[in-house]
Structure 1
């Protein structure tokens, strides 16, 4: 019996009998028949195999293609430190939706492919910034301001440390802004712009001469307009009157020329650069380039090969994120602005910021004002000074614990507007501060209330009377009593933040404007 069970359990031959083993054998046979009957149904049809194979090839090919381009573009990018010792007091910006400032630089270094545009002594070091523009993207991705800084503008350059060599260069005054990066690198240019504007640049992008040529070729030329036919032997720009499409060497010559436009100075050059970028923006948007993957890859390859960025921008996904932010902005909300300037007192061949217009511009930028419509509401993340609160708190005492008429309050006029301090003094006297005095001071961007020891309560009441936020009260050991330091952000009225003053013509043009440049009479050819 034991052996019989062993045979049964191990699948004995069906000829052994008609018992359970036979029944088991019959079932097996039936199953085998069914398996033979269902076999053709379970096989994959030839057409499905073919489709699956094609899809697999496409998928693998697509992944390989995407991987190739990702690594190619990523390896194209060169990176450098964002700052040269200035540091940052702001948190990490949200590249997808946070308000963002990007400093755009054009280097005049003559190394590598740029050797044809200079001499051997110009092919070493960081070079000067041939172009300097600050691109300010609003938090809601609905507008962009592009502020140009003339290369001849005299500014104060802070102390900067070259992050590669660790060598520190001392601060300098009255230096052309295009020299800011020559010693300590691009980060020093960023720190200089931060110091000048009172803002904090989030990223930078620096391109060289070759980038302009290859980008203009990649988009099939850029339309530019000039009033008369010109030839500039220095830049080798030659254009007929009217509209022309420029690319390659002629596109570079159009952006580089110092003499072909207006009076042959730097401001005419800036207007031409703004006109070029406006035309380039319109062409890219009108032709749907930003939504065409093939064209975008071509442009991205060209740009990244000739681009240096800070570490925060040093990845393809980040660059694509920023590009995505820009693709839907109305060209009428892309405002081009030049920093207000005038001939420098120290050297009439150089420029200095014109006050109070320059400080008004920087104050408006800090408040995130729409330069195309200064009366429009600012974004929620704008400076708190845009919406001051003057309402008294419930816990404020009904009677001040001091005599207002005896308190020393001085008003320093740093607005650049003559007679401005007297207006504020009148308001303070009317509010009970009978001892208020005034004096003129250097123009500054932001209004601050300084106060000495034991005068914190007086300062708070003074600020509340004028609507100045409590965040702009600063203790100072150098002040006796209270000093209201008026900045260009408080140019009129007696309530701070009630409005934003800007020169009427602060916007040179928008990307929606097709502007024809005025030719320099000395270079007109017939």
Structure 2
């Protein structure tokens, strides 16, 4: 039992300590403090064990700190946007639906100079590969959508976030040139404009990344229908299955002539086949569960990667990696944007309608491309209140839909929306349609002239536009659907399935696909 201290000068004494604390006093009746005699009486084996555990603990902490510091130091960063306004809220990288634009740069600067002269591509370069990876909120599926480098698109006004130099909007230019002047953010803004989506992150790799990654995993198996040699890329493969790595892996992804008819679409399918094989190999080898191997891959990748600032931390990259590791390879769908030869240049491509608009609509609605009839994955915002939908007229309309004048004014900034909306109107029975040039506006509305109130209500109901956005307008003859940047509209009722071409998915990561060799480059 402890003793109370003497009263010191009439002041308050220290609080009385409990019995256990009193053991650590100089009171001879209590005895010496127990922990002071621990070392002297500890057996030798226990001393050694304690020292070893301490050394290991310090070593693990130092090892972890070294790798975090090293990997973080590898990362290069760039702005996600080139000046476009963000409308969506903050993203939870661990549980929200996530869209990452994956770019392959053709720059010949620095260590990539062996693949051409500085005149070929310097600075930002062109996006030699452009794929949009869309991870569902429930981490059960991934869509990977490829954009052909020869696709002609309209680019928005872009501002280089480093130099602050402004580049005007352009029409009918190749999509791979979007980042060449104003940087990666301009490529992101261009894809947003084309699809009506809002991309969350980007990753851009260079030629060296492919070589080193393929070496690190020990090669990737690819298949081709016939032996082929492409003198431009120096790809040489025998008929059947081969393991490629290093320069041959890079040649397989870069070749523009070895597959199909020697065009861009054949190359896209080969790239998708390579990534499918890589995903199968990493999963089969247990790489994602092997910390040592993952550190090795992470070191290779981060040395050759530029990512946006929101993704540029090792914990965030680990979070994204963890979301991908358990996804069934059969639910990793590889898709190419539907295209046809361009009207203005048969050597270039333009989006094929209505297939492209159907694809972009399905992506905006988070549809499983491998099974479009499946319900969407759980929303990342379960507490959000549903948007009020217009109520269709209760009785059959006393008019002939085919005779009603309906025009579409596209102020959304997404050119493909015009055809998408017109296709839906036609399906709904409205066939007297027109298009109008329109200035960008924020909110979608349906305007109607005198006597067209019922028609406007039915048009709004068909397109999924809220009744609060159906308005009378004295200057409108008939009904006008004015599309805004909110991208409201073009959403069929809950009972209407999303229409998609039956062959929209080229393959899943679970499919082993043999590429068709270009007949002109087959060797014997």
Smaller-chain TM-score bracket: 0.7 to 0.9
1:462 lines up with 2:458 in the alignment: yes
Task: Give the Cα separation in 1 of the matches to 2:515 and 2:39.
Answer: 76
Considering fraction of residues, name the structure with more helix.
1
**Contact 1:343/1:350 (8 A) holds in 2:** yes
Task: Give the Cα separation in 2 of the matches to 1:184 and 1:404.
Answer: 54
Task: Give the Cα separation in 2 of the matches to 1:153 and 1:193.
Answer: 11
What is the aligned-residue RMSD (CA, Å)? 3.7
Q: Deviation per CA, 1:287-327, whole angstroms, max 9, x where unpaired?
A: 10000000000000000000000000010000000000000
Partner of 2:406: 411
Which structure 1 segments of 5+ residues have no match? 1-27, 427-436
Q: 1:170 to 1:476 in 2, by over 3 A?
A: farther
Partner of 1:473: 469
Aligned 1:348-387 pairs, distance under 5 A: 348-381=346-379
Partner of 1:279: 277
Partner of 1:483: 480
**Contact 2:390/2:467 (8 A) holds in 1:** no
**Contact 2:160/2:182 (8 A) holds in 1:** yes
Q: 1:51 to 1:522 in 2, by over 3 A?
A: same
Task: Give the Cα separation in 2 of the matches to 1:299 and 1:180.
Answer: 30
Q: 1:422 to 1:360 in 2, by over 3 A?
A: closer
Q: 1:422 to 1:337 in 2, by over 3 A?
A: closer
Q: Report how far residue 330 of structure 1 moved.
A: 0.3
Q: Report how far residue 96 of structure 1 moved.
A: 0.3
Partner of 2:50: 52
What TM-score, normalized by structure 1, do the two folds share? Answer: 0.82
Larger Rg: 1
Q: Report how far residue 468 of structure 1 moved.
A: 2.2
* Corresponding residue to 1:333 among 322, 331, 336: 331
Which structure 2 segments of 5+ residues have no match? 1-26, 409-417
Q: Report how far residue 482 of structure 1 moved.
A: 3.0
Partner of 1:295: 293
Classify the secondary structure of the residue corresponding to 2:432. Answer: strand
* Corresponding residue to 1:424 among 413, 423, 428: 428
**Contact 1:104/1:134 (8 A) holds in 2:** yes
Q: 1:154 to 1:231 in 2, by over 3 A?
A: same
Q: 1:48 to 1:59 in 2, by over 3 A?
A: same
Partner of 2:184: 186
Classify the secondary structure of the residue corresponding to 1:501. Answer: coil
Partner of 2:87: 89
Matched residue count: 476
Task: Give the Cα separation in 2 of the matches to 1:348 and 1:488.
Answer: 34
Partner of 2:197: 199
Q: Report how far residue 439 of structure 1 moved.
A: 1.5
Task: Give the Cα separation in 2 of the matches to 1:351 and 1:386.
Answer: 38
Q: 1:259 to 1:45 in 2, by over 3 A?
A: same
Task: Give the Cα separation in 2 of the matches to 1:284 and 1:423.
Answer: 45
